[in-house]
Chains A and B, each alone.
Chain A
């Protein structure tokens, strides 16, 4: 194919035009505009350009607020990949330590009185680890659990959590179970957008992809579950990270709390 003599200058000028637009944009966006805007915000030229380039935090058009911390955290727990892996491995130390738990939580993690004590069998190890840690640090208050959790080391908490998580859940006869009301089922599966209540399933459902520490709620006593929801609602229990549970419980009515507790104590599939 022969080159048309008409095309050659055209291509040259097009390249020059594109290149000059690019150079102008870089100069204007990263140098000129930041300097003009930074002057209004009392910033020097160097700082403004650094901010525009993303080398320093902040906008070139506004003063940057000081990041300040004046409060204590609600829980001391932080997740890491190593911790998650350790919680997957039951160990002999866990079995030894678990002897101290059997008086209430039962042999094999099945509660002796589900009204008061939760079942630990089949509970997520991540959830157990977080609660034990919070009992130890005082983030979650309990006269019974605090003295038991305080002497435990980090490794012991991991071991005992992994130990109970490995047991199979309690099997209850599906007889005499009341059918859950439609409103409660909707709250569990769909939530309530008008009150900003996310579906319970969004976090507590199996493989939901929500926060890792969300516990499994099925196979627990209704009284235990409703007591926890009421404690979240009143603010008496406040070890949920960033008020995830308190924000939900605060807008639940008392009858919804009873209904949800009943639903989870009699439903095994979620």
Chain B
């Protein structure tokens, strides 16, 4: 045979080096995204009781939607339930850090916002939270992407991203689609 054992080992070592190189390159790209662009997987461990979600605390129905705090922090609270999002239309400012907080009283749901990296599961018992910055204005579709029952395919909401000049909170700091 032309190839000896030494040659096989040598080629294996070369391939190992190539594999390590490829993995390192990809890891470096991820570390770059983490440090420079602050891109993390949105993980947030925050328990909440799904049985009394609608009764007290921040996910009471009239408390949902976009609100600007006294410090200027923009937070939108959204409930995913069988088979609707409440609110179904959410106004958010462009080019500004916003926080989306999701909870569900019933089963596992999930959301993604088209054209962005916003993508999370919504699990009963936990608050799902995503911080992001929307750079493009317009209406973005936010469908439920985790099968939640027979009405799953009709479950979606709309994110209306408006320029900062058109984002006008009312006296309570609230912004809703109906107000415009």
Enumerate chain A interface residues (CB-CB to B < 8 A). Answer: 6, 10, 17, 28, 33, 36-37, 40, 54-55, 57-63, 65-76, 78-80, 191-193, 196-199, 201-203, 205, 208-211, 241-244, 247-248
Contacts and interface: CB of A to CB of B under 8 A. Distances in A.
23 contacts: A6-B5, A28-B31, A37-B34, A54-B45, A57-B44, A58-B44, A59-B131, A62-B38, A68-B63, A73-B54, A74-B62, A191-B154, A196-B154, A196-B156, A198-B82, A198-B83, A201-B150, A202-B151, A210-B150, A211-B106, A241-B105, A244-B84, A247-B86
Interface string B77-89: 0010111101010
B149 A67 contact: no
Contact of A199 (B60, B73, B151): B151
B97 interface: yes
Given A17-B20, A73-B55, A244-B82, 19 more contacts: A6-B9, A33-B31, A37-B38, A40-B38, A54-B45, A58-B44, A58-B129, A59-B43, A62-B38, A70-B62, A70-B172, A79-B51, A193-B153, A196-B84, A199-B150, A202-B151, A211-B106, A244-B84, A248-B84
A72 B42 CA distance: 30
Interface residues of B, number: 51
A138 to B, nearest CB: 15
Contact of B97 (A62, A191, A205): A62
Given A37-B38, A196-B154, A198-B150, A247 B55 contact: no
Contacts of B55: 73, 76, 78
Contact of B63 (A57, A59, A69, A203): A69
A65 B58 CA distance: 11
A80 B51 contact: yes
Nearest to A214: B82
B56 to A, nearest CB: 7
Contacts of A203: 82-83, 151
B101 interface: yes
B155 interface: yes
B81 A74 contact: no
B3 to A, nearest CB: 15
A72 B86 CA distance: 16
B82 A210 contact: yes
Contacts of A65: 69, 73, 75, 99, 101
A86 B45 CA distance: 34
A133 B57 CA distance: 21
Nearest to A81: B51
A211 B53 CA distance: 14
Contacts of B153: 191, 193
B109 to A, nearest CB: 12
A202 B60 contact: no
A197 to B, nearest CB: 6
B61 interface: yes
Q: Which of B46, B99, B106, B150 has the most CB of A within 10 A?
A: B150
Contacts of A199: 150-151, 154
Given A67-B57, A73-B55, A198-B154, A57 B79 contact: no
B172 to A, nearest CB: 8
A218 B99 CA distance: 43
B131 A61 contact: yes
A176 to B, nearest CB: 31
A40 B36 CA distance: 11
A196 B88 contact: yes
B135 interface: no
A196 B82 contact: no
B34 to A, nearest CB: 5
Nearest to A200: B151
B52 interface: yes
Nearest to B12: A10
B35 interface: yes
